[in-house]
């Protein structure tokens, strides 16, 4: 396994792989790896010849006052975990390599980024799609793998790939959870022990929603209300949003008649956590 910090060097490596007809798989991350990331890497191993992960805490996707500075970083630990997962290349550029002085080009996906997290994090997705587009042009993967935990991000990336005619297969992977159901996230590290316990209210509420859906409930408002009550019963939590939308275009829906996503963002103490569950009227629910 090698760690590459220069764009040019990554491009040379990728070109070599293309010449040898090798399939390149990219798993973009912000590092501080956990088993959720590893599940993406294992899928990546299965799908290609050269597995590249990027580790880049992308400054443009953090708003003012967000946790860019505090975001956990541990390159040595990440390198060990990536090596064990069979990663071939870690692409870990410094910020100035990705955004040199005078940088002024951004990629914006307009509609699917407006609601949900786009409301409280207005420039977040512009930063995400910009950096992912740059990673795509640098690493030139055949396949790129993302987690469904960041569901809106995955929808935005699929839209970008379609709109810009990028010949990259986008794979979405299920949410990997702790034993008590909390979605794994590098940000879980911020939680104090009482907050960590309180955070279970999120999955509890989603399970309650799943039970309602499975019992035949299709009215979005009724399900959302149950989720709200269930999360609000936990005093350390503060709801940012609870939304049920069409899973393809993230448009609001009242009745769950097609594949839908119930997405939530909840502040537990000072930590903002997101989670979601998919409702599929044709075949049950998952997430």
The binding site for ligand AMP (CB under 6 A) comprises 29-30, 36-37, 39-40, 146-147, 149-150, 173, 175-176, 183-186
Minimum Å distance from CB 55 to ligand AMP?
Answer: 8
Minimum Å distance from CB 185 to ligand AMP?
Answer: 5
Residue 121 or 149 with smaller CB distance to ligand AMP: 149
Bridge partner residues of 100 (DSSP): none
Confirm whether 42 is a catalytic residue.
Answer: no
Residue 178 or 217 with smaller CB distance to ligand AMP: 178
Minimum Å distance from CB 184 to ligand AMP?
Answer: 4
Nearest residue to ligand AMP by CB is 147
Minimum Å distance from CB 8 to ligand AMP?
Answer: 24
* Contact yes or no for 149/36 (Cβ under 8 A): yes
Of the listed 37, 42, 83, 124, which one is catalytic?
Answer: 37
Minimum Å distance from CB 40 to ligand AMP?
Answer: 5
Residue 67 or 240 with smaller CB distance to ligand AMP: 67
Residue 173 or 191 with smaller CB distance to ligand AMP: 173
Question: What's the CA gap between 80 and 92, in Å, rounded?
Answer: 14
Residue 248 or 281 with smaller CB distance to ligand AMP: 248
Active-site amino acid positions? 37
């Amino acid at each position: 396994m090698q760690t590459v910090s220069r764009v040019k060097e990554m491009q040379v490596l990728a070109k070599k792989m293309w010449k040898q007809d090798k399939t390149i798989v990219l798993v973009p991350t912000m590092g501080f790896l956990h088993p959720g990331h590893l599940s993406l890497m294992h899928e990546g191993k299965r799908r290609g010849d050269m597995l590249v992960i990027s580790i880049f805490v992308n400054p443009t996707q953090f708003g003012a006052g967000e946790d860019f500075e505090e975001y956990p970083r541990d390159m040595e630990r990440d390198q060990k975990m990536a090596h064990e997962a069979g990663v071939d290349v870690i692409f870990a550029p410094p910020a100035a390599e990705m955004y040199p002085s005078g940088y002024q080009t951004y990629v914006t996906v307009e509609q699917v980024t407006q609601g949900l997290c786009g409301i409280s994090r207005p420039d977040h997705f512009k930063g995400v799609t910009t950096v992912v587009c740059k990673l795509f042009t640098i690493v030139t993967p055949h396949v790129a793998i993302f987690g469904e935990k960041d569901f809106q991000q995955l929808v935005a990336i699929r839209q970008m790939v379609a709109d810009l005619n990028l010949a990259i297969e986008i794979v979405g992977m299920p949410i990997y959870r702790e034993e008590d159901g909390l979605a794994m996230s590098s940000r879980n590290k911020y939680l104090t022990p009482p907050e960590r316990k309180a955070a279970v209210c999120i999955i509890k509420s989603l399970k309650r929603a799943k039970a309602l859906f499975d019992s035949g409930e299709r009215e979005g408002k009724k399900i959302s209300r149950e989720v709200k009550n269930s999360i609000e019963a936990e005093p350390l939590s503060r709801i940012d949003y609870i939304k049920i939308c069409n899973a393809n275009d993230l448009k609001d829906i009242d009745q769950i008649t097609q594949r839908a996503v119930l997405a939530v963002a909840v502040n537990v103490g000072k930590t903002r956590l997101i989670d979601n569950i998919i409702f599929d009227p044709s075949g049950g629910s998952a997430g």
